[in-house]
Amino acid sequence: MAAAGPRLLLVGGGRMGGALLKGWLDQGIAAPESVTVIEPADEARAALAPLGVRVLAAPDDALDGDGGFDLALLALKPQVMDVAKAYAPLGQAGTVFLSIAAGKTTDYFRALLGASAAVVRAMPNTPAQVGRGITALYATAEVGADGRALAGRLMEAVGEVVWLEDEALMDAVTAVSGSGPAYLFYLIECLTVAARQAGLADEMAERLAEATVTGAGELAFRSSEPAATLRRQVTSPGGTTAAALEVLMADGGLEDLMVRAVAAAADRSRELAG
């Protein structure tokens, strides 16, 4: 009996690849017997084995099979993506390649996998690990409607999905949502430092900072109101919040810093493309 669901190859079973795989299986998007994972690290392979998927250390056995794959997800770091050249033969059999590597363009993948390779670029973020990620996708002309639908469905397993029509915008996406979780984690760190300097004990400072940032994020997620409206709702004229916002919203304040930070991340994304 043929395996149920799409035939998937996951190249890289690390943190993000593992989160995606768990989402596929938990939501019934793919059956364990329809998924093959290539993961060279012994520890990572051992962690994946209980999921019931086929786990291999190297690509040879996967490429020797006669079943083929509908989609191959390349969950590799940009610095080692060149090893994906081994999977170029799959493209000739109609496999769609889905990459989550920052900075690696579709031109790069055409050179790596063949000029006619069907490639989808994706930029997810780490909240995918808890099913609250957001992923931007861009597809080459070689990717048909079925390939786009499959790529979108696979990424929706860990959060929201948006499609880009201009690949050049992927650098901005990387800088905003791909790197963005680190900015929020740093905000928690900074708010913790400020709380300590205001006199709170270390544990209390950290607890208040983390719960405030994550709780406000959840409120923004659930509310139909834009962030600016939510900010105004908690800001009483002449009150404590207004006093703090006078500092944060002054010239050279948080908005200017964030614009500069996102620009720096976008520039680095372009540099990684080579």
Q: Range(s) for CATH 3.40.50.720 in the chain?
A: 8-170
Nearest to 120 by CA among 143, 95, 89, 144: 143
Domain 180-272, CATH homologous superfamily name and number: ProC C-terminal domain-like (1.10.3730.10)
Tens digits of residue pLDDT in 124-151: 999 998 999 999 999 999 999 999 999 9
Q: pTM for the complete prediction?
A: 0.88
pLDDT at position 59: 82
Fold classification of 8-170 (topology level): Rossmann fold (3.40.50)
Hunting for tokens 């861009």 — which residue is that? Answer: 138
Residue 194's pLDDT band (boundaries 50, 70, 90)?
very high
Beta-carbon contacts of residue 92 (< 8 Å; ≥ 6 apart): 114, 116
pLDDT at position 44: 87
pLDDT at position 2: 44
Mean local confidence (pLDDT), 236-248: 97
Q: Strand, helix or coil at 104?
A: coil
Tens digits of residue pLDDT in 197-227: 999 999 999 999 999 999 999 999 999 999 9
Judged against a pLDDT cut of 90, whether residue 164 lies above it is answered with yes
Residue 274's pLDDT band (boundaries 50, 70, 90)?
low
Hunting for tokens 């363009």 — which residue is that? Answer: 105
Residue type, 202: D
- DSSP states of 206-228 as a string? HHHHHHHHHHHHHHHHH-SS-HH
* % residues pLDDT > 90 (the chain): 80
Judged against a pLDDT cut of 50, whether residue 1 lies above it is answered with no
**Between residues 65 and 263, which one has the greater pLDDT?**
263
Residue 153's pLDDT band (boundaries 50, 70, 90)?
very high
Tens digits of residue pLDDT in 46-100: 888 899 999 998 887 677 655 589 999 999 988 899 999 999 999 988 999 999 9
pLDDT at position 60: 77
Residue 182's pLDDT band (boundaries 50, 70, 90)?
very high
- Asked if residue 61 lies in contact with residue 75, where contact means CB atoms within 8 angstroms, the answer is no
Q: φ and ψ at 119, to 5 degrees?
A: -125, 135
Q: Range(s) for CATH 1.10.3730.10 in the chain?
A: 180-272
Beta-carbon contacts of residue 221 (< 8 Å; ≥ 6 apart): 132
Question: Residues 84-93, buried b or exposed e (16+ Cβ, 10 A)?
Answer: bebbbebbee
Residue 237's pLDDT band (boundaries 50, 70, 90)?
very high
- Asked if residue 102 lies in contact with residue 175, where contact means CB atoms within 8 angstroms, the answer is no
Asked which of 7-21, 25-39, 52-66, 193-207 is least confident by mean pLDDT, the reply is 52-66
Query: Mean pLDDT of all residues in the chain?
Result: 93
